[in-house]
Amino acid sequence: MKSYDLILFLLGLAFLAAAILPRLLRGWPLSLPMLYVGAGLILPFAWPGLPRIDPLDRSGLIERLTEMAVIISLMSAGLKIDRPLGWRSWATTRRLLTITMPLCILALTVGGIWLLGLPLAAAILLGAVIAPTDPVLAASVQVGPPGEECEHEVRFALTSEAGLNDGLAFPFVNLAIVIAATGLARKGLESWLAVDVAWRIGAGTAIGVFIGWAVAWLVFRLCRPEVMISDGFVALALTLVAYGATELFNGYGFIAVFVAALVFRRFEKDHAYHNSLHDFSEQIEQLFMAALLLAFGVAITQGLLAGLRWQTVLLAVLFLLVIRPLAGWLGLIRSGLPARHRLLIAGLGIRGVGTFYYLAYGVNFGNLTETAAREIWSAAGWIVLLSVILHGALAPRFMRRLGQP
């Protein structure tokens, strides 16, 4: 069987699984991501002729595919949040972004230098790609569809954190690239602060607000949503216009997509059309997740973790079981949340596709040695694999104990 035909066949099975397995898996300590990765692990044994997935040789393709998966997921996450924007109402999210994520990046940077022997730029890149929670694999801990009033603080915090920290991790990725190119030169750091921090975050936010409002006005004021030809066209247009326009102005497109979705959601917030857009975005998100996690499993069997060292294993375990939970707990001190809720938010930060995007981007644009790049890929792959297994098995159970479906 030709490789192309085999890939089409496998993708078809994966998409079919995305349609029927969620209902069948209810009550089981399994998740779709676990099954996709597991299937990918055994595929090279069943079909030895599968194309080899080397993250360095195919970093450009990996970057583009994961980029699309993340922006579709960010749109889905933004459209499902019912809570109005506000300093106090988003206080938990603010704490996770300004305290928890920087603490995670700092701890991973130190761990990368001390345990893995990475140079400073590579260690910062490791922290930047691992620290953000993932919007693609976090469906089991996120809020429900628009209008379902399922926004428990734990679910809201994890959804909004995943929506925003994928964009706010970008300055740290770019910091690693700057340091790899120029070291700690003052001029390079000043340019990073002015462009990568101030301008790109501001541009992403401003353009996201404008695009979200403009598309919502066109849909709800100029046209009638009930006679629109395709909900899918609007969902994709909102996503791609927000992302593309922001990137053209050298802003952070991830921030723009999530902000545009939030603004669009505020427009005629009780209209059923929001559910249609969210459902379409979620289905496309599931398709990307299926394909990418199958490829992830294949890459592991083909040698992604071949260079794994005990220091890398230790750092991954420390991050998932100690660093992230502790940083999350510290970030939520004096938040007013019950201790059990703080523990859940701190411990359920799922890692996934966003990590692969940032790492592919960092390898493509950073001046890293092949040794350092493979070390980071090995560490990132191991952490994501552990997260898929650990969070996939435990997150639904914890959510049920919380009293949430």
What percentage of the chain has pLDDT greater than the value 70?
Answer: 89
Q: Which of 122-131, 171-180, 264-273 has the lowest mean pLDDT?
A: 264-273
Q: Contact, 6 vs 48, CB < 8 A? A: no
pLDDT of residue 1: 47
Pairwise CA distance, residues 294 & 14, whole Å: 8
pLDDT of residue 225: 60
- Residue 364 in this model has a pLDDT that exceeds 80: yes
pLDDT of residue 208 exceeding 80? yes
At 286-313, the pLDDT tens digits run 888 888 998 999 999 998 998 789 999 9
**pTM of the entire predicted model:** 0.90
Q: Which amino acid is at 186?
A: R
Q: Give the pLDDT of residue 145.
A: 65
In residues, how long is the chain? Answer: 405
The full set of domains in the chain, from first to last, is: 59-401 (1.20.1530.20)
From the list 324, 329, 330, the residue with the least C-alpha distance to 350 is 324
Residue linked to tokens 């779709």? 32
Please indicate whether residue 324 or residue 32 has the higher confidence score (pLDDT): 324
∠ at Cα 390 (386, 393), nearest 5°?
140
